[in-house]
Amino acid sequence: MIYTCTLNPAIDLFVDVDSLEPFIVNRTNAEDYQANGKAINISILLKRMGLDNTALGFIGGFTGKYIEDELQQKEINTNFIKVDGITRINTFVRAGEKEYKIVNKGPIIPPQKKNEMLQKIKNIPRGSMLFVSGSLPKGISEDIFVEIAEIASYNELELILDVSSKKLLDCLTYHPYLIKPNKEELEYLFNKEILSEEQIIVLGKELLKRGAERVLVSLGEEGALYLSDKETIRVTSPKGEVVNTTCAGDALLSSFVGKLKSGSSTEDALVYASATGASTAFSMGLSDLSDIEQLIKEIDLKHLSEKL
């Protein structure tokens, strides 16, 4: 069974304008509302790939109900915890060649609700897969990532982490199945600046030494790097007109793991994932997967293990 956990869900509003000017009414050319949050994106894309899953998270108010309704309409199982307050709305504006991202904080989560979430995770059947991805709401400290990792280890869950927190390093003791930092997050984790590809590989291998079973580094328009104790693989990304990059990393991660879960080789999963991430970047929201086969033709994959 597959579970996703979004601790700080959101409705994402995507708009397109010719330009964004101060002190005047800026009228949009297009708009789109989507149930969102990084692990919710993962739930949606996994379902589009034919993989059933259950979405966990905190929701509140009319916006939280919208998210729950949207997922249920997509036939995704939900097991949310209701909280006081209103689930946040984030706004992403595409203005010509520029992209603006306005992200809110979300409601305050009291300690008893946090404990309720940890109990839900403890109740996940042994051997299941759990994605934990995204930011934290007010009232929840970064220590929760380590608590979840400890639970996952004890209950033999395949834990996948995509979090922008230095606590990720403390989670590695519990041997997560996969972690997905991007280049900027690697720089933050190790207090480095402007990493080269060779340095990214060195740090990726350091994450493996510290306990991660697999590392997938998203590199945006440059593709991705995958590292395990057996291999290092570099995959490029297709080129196209970028519309919105917000969900591209989520698409990369979920499609990669989804393909592995469906029995694909690591190589085939990486190529498919790169195409799905790019397709998402070329769309207003998550890819509908209709252009994946075409994009796959533009992707190069190389094994780098023998060179390093």
Give Cα separations from 261 to 128, 146, 158, 215, 278 (angstroms).
11, 25, 11, 16, 21
Give Cα separations from 223 to 162, 264, 291 (angstroms).
17, 19, 17
136's CB contacts (< 8 A; 6+ apart) are: 7, 8, 142, 144, 165
Active site residue 18: no
For 55: left if phi > 0, alpha if psi spans -120 to 50, otherwise beta; the answer is: beta
Asked if residues 168 and 206 have their Cβ atoms less than 8 Å apart, the reply is no
Cα separation, 247 vs 255, whole angstroms: 12
Q: How buried is residue 170: exposed, middle or buried, by Cβ count under 10 Å (0-12/13-18/19+)?
A: middle
The b/e string for 190-216 (b: 16+ C-beta within 10 A; e otherwise) is beeeebeeeebbebbbbbbeebbebbb
Of residues 5, 46, 31, the one with CA closest to residue 251: 46
Structure tokens at 217: 């580094």
How many other C-beta atoms lie within 10 A of the C-beta of residue 93?
18
Cα separation, 146 vs 154, whole angstroms: 12
- 16, 250, 288, 291: the active-site residue: 250
Asked if residues 56 and 3 have their Cβ atoms less than 8 Å apart, the reply is yes
Structure tokens at 35: 């149930």
Active site residues: 250
